[in-house]
Structure 1
Amino acid sequence: MFDTLAEIPALSLADQASDPDGFAQRFGQSFQQFGFAVVRDHGIPQPLIERAWAMTKAFFALPEAEKRALYLDGAGGARGYTPFKTEIAKGATHVDLKEFWHVGRELAAGHRFAAQMAPNVWPDRPEGFRETFLELFQAFDDAGDRLLSAIARYLGLAPDWFDPAVKDGNSVLRLLHYPPVDADAPEVRAGAHEDINLITLLLGAEEAGLELLDADGKWLSIKPPEGAMVVNVGDMLQRLTNHVLPSTTHRVVNPPPERRGHSRYSMPFFLHPAPDFLIETLPGCIDGARPNRYPSPITAHDYLHERLVEIGLIKK
């Protein structure tokens, strides 16, 4: 028996313009208590979202051979297609029941991060796929900047503190398809895990299945209002804040039997800092009661590589 997550209030990002400190407090408190927040009025245009859903469903409906031709073996799933049953949660015994597509940041020729951030690959169809998802990537990026500004205020930092950290950041837009599952399927659609990045912005959580693990060890189901975005803390932000903002374990469970014949689609945007950003504990998050858990800083690139090995996307 799962509880619903009525405790997480849906916040309006539109309030940030008139009351930036008030919004920052409400958003930060939700992050500190749950590691998650629900955000309405996020600024991503609804027609763009609807176009992106249509493109996502059309792409995953393509023949398997056509999709697999866009799989880059040895690339760690950073760009393009990753087939069904490839990724596994850290410590899990069953692979995840999903296939996905990754869109990254477009870099100018000769960019200093070209070695760490691969160029995008694009399918020939559906028509307009590239234009749609580059536009959506930018819209997510803009919303993420606004939310990071609120986090900075909550932590007592300058509102633009994260700007240089995420300029040319290694963020990834993931298009996810969880196909229908058998009635007796032993796996969960996505095993219990934490995200690697700073924050994750998720569209598509209205379809049941997303659950988070609360501080009491109970799984709570998340069902945001239609059109709202679910935002959660990633491990990089948890490390940066010395666990003041916790990266909460979450999963996607198989639906009830009557919904197992339906696909589930979602679009998470994993907001990453630039590869050379040094993840070093914020001084304001260290005190006598909370000693520094991470005395040795690490670059975002090295941290990401460590974690991709753990989840099976990069082979040692």
Structure 2
Amino acid sequence: MEVPEVPHYIPARPSTVDLDYADLPIIDLAKFSSLGGRAALAIQVRDAMTEHGFFYVINHGFTTSQSERIFDIANVPFEHVTTEEKQRYAGSMKQTGSYQGYKLRQYWHIDGGVQDQVENYNINREVTKREHPHALRPFLPEIAEFARHNHFNVLHPILRLLALGLELPEDTLVNCHGYDAVGESYVRFMKYYPRSDEEEAKTKNVWLKGHTDFGSVTILYSQPVAALQILTREGSWKWLKHIEDALVINAGDALEFLSGGFYPATIHRVVQPPEDQRQHTRLGVFYFVMPDDATKLVPLVDSPVLKRVGVKRRFEDDAAPTMEAWRKGRTAAYGQTELKPASEKGVEEEIIGGVVVKHYN
């Protein structure tokens, strides 16, 4: 198939600064096809999610050239669309509770009166759900195929491994993550821009406060600009290291709710890159995954694992939100509500649907 030409995006070189990197497991999906390999991977994934909440995936079916191509496409909505046209395709997150279209710069409040310097463009896995900027339209077939690849070749194997980790039938989580069901799983292209020294000082170099994602699983394509940090179970922030052609996987709220707290949503943040990358933009490519909108986020109590270790509930089962209600509440509120100081040091919180949501700084 002949594909349209796209200007090549040249990322920054990997940092040579000695950073305190998290030591995360690497999951090799090439082993998934055999029964023995799958059983071993299920243990690896279970331990990775319970101990770290983050892990890398390799051999996920996307080549180096395909990854480079999707980053080239990801840059199009930022560098090849006018400011005027971006405004026309801006999302209305606060009103609709849906990330579709642009999240323009300076929409989120970070800290000290400073607004963000990050732009993102969000595309539902059903790419024809809404209209897109002219420059992006030739690439929609490739973006649609990219969404399908992530859903079936990356997400579904991971969901099967997570279910096995709970000693449940393999398809338990797959069944509530249907590709054609009503839902909001989407591709996100995201670009961070360098900030002024004044903004860095006011926010203590934090670009996005520590938070959890609200879906079940987030798939991030590794890129070289160091800025992403995770909060370890021991309470320290560690950097994520770039691994060429790897994916970075983390757990979100919905997976925590469904797993009865066995797979906790991972707290992570974005900070100013190290000195040798500071003047570069940081381009990100994601597949944000959510269960089907109608899914009620109650623990999978049939799990033999949960029967042994117990269930950690954030709300009673009869008060559990659907995925639709949770994503809309989190989306509408993020970066828009006034956060209140919590009893924990460096933690702020808000209430969404009767559930306490924490932000870490």
TM-score by length of 2: 0.77
Verify: 1:174 aligned to 2:188, yes or no: yes
**One of 318, 324, 331 as aligned partner of 1:301:** 324
- Structure 1 residues 82 and 103: CA distance shift in structure 2, 3 A: same
Q: Work out whether residues 106 and 115 of structure 2, in 8 Å CA contact, stay in contact via their aligned partners in 1.
A: yes
The worse-fitting range, judged by mean Cα deviation, of 181-190 and 29-38 is 181-190
Name the residue aligned to 2:103: 82
Name the residue aligned to 1:3: 20
Name the residue aligned to 1:147: 158
Alignment of 1:60-209 (within 5 A): 60-61=78-79, 62-73=81-92, 74-88=95-109, 94-106=114-126, 119-126=129-136, 128-142=138-152, 143-167=154-178, 168=181, 169-186=183-200, 187=203, 188-209=206-227
Q: Name the amino acid aligned to 2:84.
A: A
For residues 291 and 15 of structure 1, the distance between their equivalents in structure 2, rounded to whole angstroms, comes to 31
For residues 269 and 189 of structure 2, the distance between their equivalents in structure 1, rounded to whole angstroms, comes to 17
For residues 50 and 44 of structure 1, the distance between their equivalents in structure 2, rounded to whole angstroms, comes to 10
Q: Work out whether residues 127 and 144 of structure 2, in 8 Å CA contact, stay in contact via their aligned partners in 1.
A: no
CA drift of 1:140 comes to 1.1
**Paired residue secondary structure (1:129):** helix
Q: Work out whether residues 204 and 265 of structure 1, in 8 Å CA contact, stay in contact via their aligned partners in 2.
A: no
Q: Work out whether residues 181 and 260 of structure 1, in 8 Å CA contact, stay in contact via their aligned partners in 2.
A: no
- Structure 1 residues 301 and 256: CA distance shift in structure 2, 3 A: same
- Structure 1 residues 16 and 292: CA distance shift in structure 2, 3 A: same
The worse-fitting range, judged by mean Cα deviation, of 282-291 and 222-231 is 282-291
Name the residue aligned to 2:334: 311
Q: Work out whether residues 251 and 263 of structure 2, in 8 Å CA contact, stay in contact via their aligned partners in 1.
A: yes
- Structure 1 residues 87 and 135: CA distance shift in structure 2, 3 A: farther
Name the residue aligned to 1:112: none
For residues 99 and 86 of structure 1, the distance between their equivalents in structure 2, rounded to whole angstroms, comes to 9
Structure with a larger share of its residues in helix: 2
CA drift of 1:120 comes to 2.9
- Structure 1 residues 196 and 277: CA distance shift in structure 2, 3 A: same
CA drift of 1:243 comes to 1.5
Name the residue aligned to 1:240: 258
Q: Name the amino acid aligned to 1:5.
A: A
- Structure 1 residues 178 and 278: CA distance shift in structure 2, 3 A: same
CA drift of 1:304 comes to 1.2
**Paired residue secondary structure (2:134):** coil
For residues 289 and 72 of structure 1, the distance between their equivalents in structure 2, rounded to whole angstroms, comes to 42
Deviations 1:142-184 (CA, angstroms, capped at 9, x unpaired): 1111110111111111111122201124201110000122244
CA RMSD of aligned residues (A): 2.6
Deviations 1:241-280 (CA, angstroms, capped at 9, x unpaired): 1211111110111112342211001112111111101111
Q: Work out whether residues 99 and 331 of structure 2, in 8 Å CA contact, stay in contact via their aligned partners in 1.
A: no
**Paired residue secondary structure (2:291):** coil
CA drift of 1:36 comes to 0.7
CA drift of 1:207 comes to 1.8
**Paired residue secondary structure (2:187):** strand
Q: Work out whether residues 38 and 224 of structure 1, in 8 Å CA contact, stay in contact via their aligned partners in 2.
A: no
For residues 46 and 102 of structure 1, the distance between their equivalents in structure 2, rounded to whole angstroms, comes to 23
Verify: 1:23 aligned to 2:52, yes or no: no
Give the share of equivalent positions with the same residue, in percent. 24
Unaligned runs of 5+ in 2: 1-17, 338-351, 353-361
For residues 226 and 50 of structure 2, the distance between their equivalents in structure 1, rounded to whole angstroms, comes to 24
For residues 11 and 87 of structure 1, the distance between their equivalents in structure 2, rounded to whole angstroms, comes to 34
CA drift of 1:57 comes to 1.7
- Structure 1 residues 172 and 88: CA distance shift in structure 2, 3 A: farther
Q: Name the amino acid aligned to 1:178.
A: Y
TM-score by length of 1: 0.87
Q: Work out whether residues 77 and 121 of structure 2, in 8 Å CA contact, stay in contact via their aligned partners in 1.
A: no
Name the residue aligned to 1:274: 292
Name the residue aligned to 1:37: 55
Q: Name the amino acid aligned to 1:134.
A: A
Q: Name the amino acid aligned to 1:212.
A: I
Q: Work out whether residues 182 and 260 of structure 1, in 8 Å CA contact, stay in contact via their aligned partners in 2.
A: no
Verify: 1:13 aligned to 2:41, yes or no: no
For residues 277 and 304 of structure 1, the distance between their equivalents in structure 2, rounded to whole angstroms, comes to 12
Q: Work out whether residues 39 and 229 of structure 1, in 8 Å CA contact, stay in contact via their aligned partners in 2.
A: yes
For residues 92 and 200 of structure 1, the distance between their equivalents in structure 2, rounded to whole angstroms, comes to 29
Q: Name the amino acid aligned to 2:155.
A: G
For residues 107 and 163 of structure 1, the distance between their equivalents in structure 2, rounded to whole angstroms, comes to 21
Q: Work out whether residues 73 and 139 of structure 2, in 8 Å CA contact, stay in contact via their aligned partners in 1.
A: yes
